[in-house]
Amino acid sequence: MAEITHRTLRVAGRPTHVAEAGEGPLVVLVHGFPELWYSWRHQLTGLADAGFKVVAPDMRGYGGSPGPAEADQYTIHHLVGDIVALIGALGADRAVVAGHDWGSQVAWHTALLRPDLVSGVGGMSIPYRPRAGLPPLPAMRRAMGEDFYMLRFQQPGPVDAELARDPAASVRRLLSATSGEAPPFDPVLPADGGFLDRCPEPDRLPGWLTEQDIAVYAEALAATGFTGGLNWYRNLHRNWDLTAPLNRARIQVPALYRAGDRDFVVQGTDHARLDAELRQWATQLRRTMILPDCGHRTQQERPAEVTAALADFASSLDSPRHP
Catalytic positions are 101, 296
β 5-11/14-21 pair status: antiparallel
- Exposure b/e, 197-207, CB count within 10 A at least 16 = b: ebbeebeebbe
Q: How far is Cα 113 from Cα 96, in angstroms, rounded to an integer?
A: 14
Strands (E), 157-281: 251-260
Using DSSP, state whether 101 is helix, strand or coil.
coil
Q: How far is Cα 220 from Cα 216, in angstroms, rounded to an integer?
A: 7
Yes or no: say if 105 and 122 are a contact pair by the CB < 8 Å rule: no
Report which of 37, 36, 110 is spatially closest to residue 80, judged by C-alpha positions.
110
String of DSSP letters for 104-145? HHHHHHHHHH-TTTEEEEEEESS---PPPSS-HHHHHHHHH-
Which residues face 289 on adjacent strands?
258
Nearby residues of 312 by Cβ (< 8 Å), 6 or more positions away: none
CA distances from 187 to 107, 131, 195, 199, 277 (A): 24, 22, 9, 10, 23
Using DSSP, state whether 318 is helix, strand or coil.
coil
